[in-house]
Amino acid sequence: MGSGQALHKRALLGSGSGSAWALSYSLIMRFFRRKIAVVVVLAYVFFSLYAAYSVFFSRKVVSRVHRVVKKGSADNSKAAEEEWNPWEEEERAESITVLQKRREAYRSYQERIAKSRPKRYKVQILGKAAIGLYLWEHILEGPLNPTDKTGQWREGEIQSGKINFSFYTGPAVVQGHVPLDTDSVVLVLNGREQQKISYSIQWLQHVQALVQAHTISRVAVVLLGSEQCTNDWISPYLKRQGGFVDLLFLVYDSPWVNDKDVFQWPLGVATYRHFPVVTPNTQMVSSARPYICNFLGTVYKNSSRESLMGILKQNGLEKECLTNAREKWLPQETADTSRQYQMALAQSDLTLCPVGVNTECYRLYEACAYGSVPVVEDVLTPGACADGRSSPLRLLKDAGAPFIFLKDWKELPAILEKERVMSQAEKTERRMRLLEWYTGFRQQMKDKFTEVLEEAFFKLS
């Protein structure tokens, strides 16, 4: 064998050992890569489990100690300040306290307003007599809807003092069909004649049943009483006689009046004849009137009215005084007779008021409404309507009514002679004084009515 062949053999031997080394190296590297992959996978799994535990199972504790931040990480410091404020709980508690104080102050303010606001009480008036309209429209000055005077059902509301009054009237206001929104009721009744008394008793018995059922607890009655002051039929219903009526407002000079539970009430105008609420104006006060006096009414045989007409005729006063006498009393007015009567009042300086069955009559109040001074026959009529020296017309006299009083119609010519020489300025001043008195009288009755109910019903004194 030559030297070339020997070299070739060494080369082949060298080449075999290199391949074995390379194979060993490859196996070793593959083993390490697997180890590294396993480690990486285990690390990933470990950190995943740790992260899940931190999120779902660990409790976050906020320390009140300031975080240490590297000087160069200004952004990290700003973020840290936004995420956490060591005084946050104190500030929140303080804001809640301030809010509570504001709410308490507002609540206290509302309570003070409620206490300072006057308390209102409700009283319901059932007008089952024509004088109820005088009480409501002329005294209390309340509205009525509908305005049609022939309405079957009319109602209104008004405030007086601490009372909210509601009023119901009309033929359709019947027992058991009136909505009661209060336990305090005023019943307006007519007791002038037996038929009216029977109807009034039915209403009283109805209200008594409501009292016994505890639907109503306080009751007052405004009564157009007998012209002879014989009102014994209502006595058993008064509380002082064991009944349920707390207060009685009674027309005419009854000796029952004591200003404790029985009070005198004015007759007023003839609302059953639709006498209106008259509003004075400048012309009514200051204009000259063509007649000295007037008398339009029924003249009964052998009465003072017959004497009055005789005196007017004997002294030639029929031309100066507007008169229209009739022999029979008519309960209803026509539109024409109503207009004539009101025109007579408005065109006369004086209105002659002779007595009828009672000294107090509608004419007194109707003359006042038009500023025509009543000339009143100041004598007692038969019956029990007398109490004290001021009767008759005790209520009007006590209120200082600026009327002309006489005891006999023979005094009339001298009175009319004074009228002839009186200047227009003097008549205007007297007329104004009468209108002001009548306005004040109605206000006085309104105040008295309200105050009596407040004290008796609600103990406000």
List, as one string, the DSSP characters of 87-111. THHHHHHHHHHHHHHHHHHHHHHHH
For residues 269 and 83, which has the higher predicted lDDT (pLDDT)?
269
Residue 16 belongs to some domain of the structure: no
What are 399-439's pLDDT values in tens digits?
999 999 999 999 999 999 999 999 999 999 999 999 999 99
Same domain, 184 and 148: yes
Whether residues 179 and 261 share a domain: the answer is: yes
| Predicted pLDDT at 364 | 98
Tell me which of 30-39, 67-76, 79-88 is least confident. 67-76
Specify the pLDDT at position 105: 83
Instruction: For residues 295 and 227, state if they share a domain.
Output: no
pLDDT band at 67 (very low <50, low <70, confident <90, very high): very low
Residue 44 lies in a domain: no
Which pLDDT belongs to residue 307?
94
**Residue 370 belongs to some domain of the structure:** yes
Domain co-membership, 251 together with 321: no
Q: Confirm whether 351 is domain-assigned.
A: yes
Query: At 108, which amino acid appears?
Result: S
Residues contacting 378, CB < 8 A, separation 6+:
359, 392, 393, 405, 406, 407
Q: In angstroms, how far is the first alpha carbon of the chain from the final one?
A: 155
Answer whether residue 64 is part of any domain: no
The Cα–Cα gap between 221 and 114 comes to: 33
Omega cis (within 30) before 266: no
Structural domain contains residue 96: no
| Residue 9: predicted pLDDT | 44
List own/partner pairs for 374-377 with CB under 8 A and 24 or more apart. 374/350, 374/401, 374/403, 374/404, 375/293, 375/350, 375/351, 375/403, 375/404, 375/406, 375/412, 375/415, 376/403, 376/404, 376/405, 376/406, 377/304, 377/353, 377/406, 377/407, 377/409
Q: Which of 19-23, 343-347, 393-397, 427-431 has the lowest mean pLDDT?
A: 19-23
Same domain flag for 241 and 217: yes
| Chosen domain end from 244, 265, 286 | 265
CATH of residue 365: 3.40.50.2000
Res 302: pLDDT: 86
User: Across-strand partners of 325?
Assistant: 297
- Same domain, yes or no, for 259 and 280? no
Tell me how many domains the chain contains: 2
Q: What is the pLDDT of residue 7?
A: 41
Check which CATH number belongs to the domain holding 244 and give it.
Answer: 3.40.50
The Cβ of residue 132 has, within 10 Å, a number of other Cβ atoms equal to 23
DSSP string across 35-49: HHHHHHHHHHHHHHH
Residue 4 is assigned to a structural domain of this protein: no
Q: How confident is the model at residue 455 (pLDDT cuts 50, 70, 90)?
A: very high
Residue pair 268/277 in contact (Cβ under 8 Å)? The answer is: no
pLDDT in tens, 108-166: 877 776 666 668 899 999 999 999 999 999 999 999 999 998 899 999 999 999 999 99
Q: Which residue has the tokens 């609420």?
A: 277
Q: Are residues 288 and 424 in the same domain?
A: yes
Mean pLDDT of the 51-57 span? 62
Which one of 205, 239, 265 terminates a domain? 265
For residue 226, give its domain range: 121-265
Q: Looking at the structure, do residues 342 and 413 belong to the same domain, yes or no?
A: yes
Confidence of residue 27 (pLDDT cuts 50, 70, 90): low
Is pTM beyond 0.85? Reply is no
**31-50 burial code (b ≥16 CB/10 A, e <16):** eeeeeeeeeeeeeeeeeeee
Examine the pLDDT at 266 and tell me if it is beyond 60.
yes
328 and 256 co-located in one domain = no
Mark whether 199 and 234 lie in a shared domain: yes
pLDDT at 247: 98
Domain-terminating residue out of 247, 265, 283: 265
Asked if residue 259 and residue 294 are part of one domain, the reply reads no
- Residue 82's pLDDT is 53
CA-CA-CA-CA torsion for 402, 407, 411, 415, nearest 10 degrees?
0
With residue 155 as reference, give the H or E element that holds it: strand 154-160
